Amino acid sequence: MKEIEKERQMIRETAIKTAQKTIQPRAAEIDEIGEFPRDLMETIGRQGFLSILLPEEYGGMNGDITTFCLLIEEIAKVSGSSSLLLLAQGVGTLPIWLGGNDSQKERYFTQISEKNSLVAFTLNEAEMGSEAPSIKTRAQKQGKDYLLNGRKCFITHGSIAHLYSVFALTEPTKGNEGISALIVEEGTPGLLFGRKEEKLGMRGSVTTDVIFENCRIPGENRLEEEGKGWKIARDTLTMAGPAMGAQAVGIAQGALDYSVHYANERIQFKKPISSFQAIQFMIADMATHIEAARALVYQAAARVDAGLEGAEKLSTMAKLYASDVAMKVTTDAVQILGGYGYMKDYPVERMMRDAKVTQILEGSNQVQRLVVANHLFRD
């Protein structure tokens, strides 16, 4: 256990150094240009962060979900977009980790670790909502291959990924049990993309629709047996929930840190505004909410890592609560800065814009509340 904690601390310290020295000076630029700079992505790749969840035997860092959360939180403190690059990579990789056989892991994990290949989690569809049976993307068996047709929307890494973890219907009449998971590789004929979305926040990440028009996918690219796709997707989201929460905590902490700094420097009536009780109360509430969210996130991560019962419920709670906290804290940060908080010269407006999507991605918070409620009434 001490060795694991030592490794986690080393990764965290590297993440802090990278965030402060490499990413923070360019965070505003990343937001402004609307795409994560390739040179920074290569830097992150060289540090092994794109392969943090992969086993060492395939060139990864053998990190668990707790370690992944530590990395995501530190990067998110300075740039939500940069943390999303890593979060999306992890979520895209987990289906292979969960459902891949030895040959698939050798092939794809080695590619990811050696070439810093990006992976996209390709589940969401325009009419899907929270119901898996409403998936329209179809993978029809043709001999040993699958003919893949459909359209996925709001996919992070959409047009720039090298590998796609895709969920499609192989047996339309079987509901959840008719969904299978396939790996689609870049350059596959018929693999097309929609326009790059212009987003409110997380502007440094690439989001597009991913379109499949008669894509022929080898049968050997299917993860697990047919019909296991929904379980793989659900387990992926359970494992990723704490990391999504960690991203929200990081964004909130970054906003709090800047608010404290600003309140100490901003002079009104010949006093720093940090001496005013109204500001002190806001800061105290922000800090308390963040610590509560952080505790829930890492409790959920520990439960996921240990494979304990109730991991899905706690993971959902972590994502739900931390994202609500991030939205409130960043909004309060803008309020503390007043008119300056509304200006792009200061980072808190970017943090507020970035925070919003944490309440939406991979299942809105309304859906998360339904999941929690279902667990409570079922249990």
Task: Please state the φ and ψ torsions of residue 91, each to the nearest 5 degrees.
Answer: -65, -40
**Number of Cβ atoms within 10 Å of the Cβ of 1:** 5
Residues 6+ apart with CB under 8 A from 145: 216, 217, 218, 219
**Number of Cβ atoms within 10 Å of the Cβ of 184:** 24
Nearest one of 121, 9, 23, 110 to 58, comparing CA atoms: 110
Q: How far apart are the two ends of the chain, measured CA to CA in Å?
A: 32
Displacement of CA 260 from its chain's centroid (Å): 27
CA-based diameter of the chain, in Å? 79
Q: How open is the CA angle 119-104-42, to the nearest 5 degrees?
A: 35
- Known active-site residue 362: yes
Q: How far apart are CA 236 and CA 371, in angstroms?
A: 15
Q: How far apart are CA 167 and CA 38, in angstroms?
A: 28
Active-site position among 73, 185, 226, 362: 362
Q: How open is the CA angle 361-379-305, to the nearest 5 degrees?
A: 55
Nearest one of 248, 249, 273 to 261, comparing CA atoms: 273
Q: What is the DSSP string of 103-167?
A: HHHHHHHHHHHHH---EEEE---TTTTT-GGG---EEEEETTEEEEEEEEEEEETTTT-SEEEEE
The total number of residues shown for the chain amounts to 379
Measuring CA to CA, how many Å separate 244 from each of 46, 48, 132, 133?
A: 23, 20, 21, 24
**Number of Cβ atoms within 10 Å of the Cβ of 32:** 13
Q: Which of the residues are catalytic? A: 362
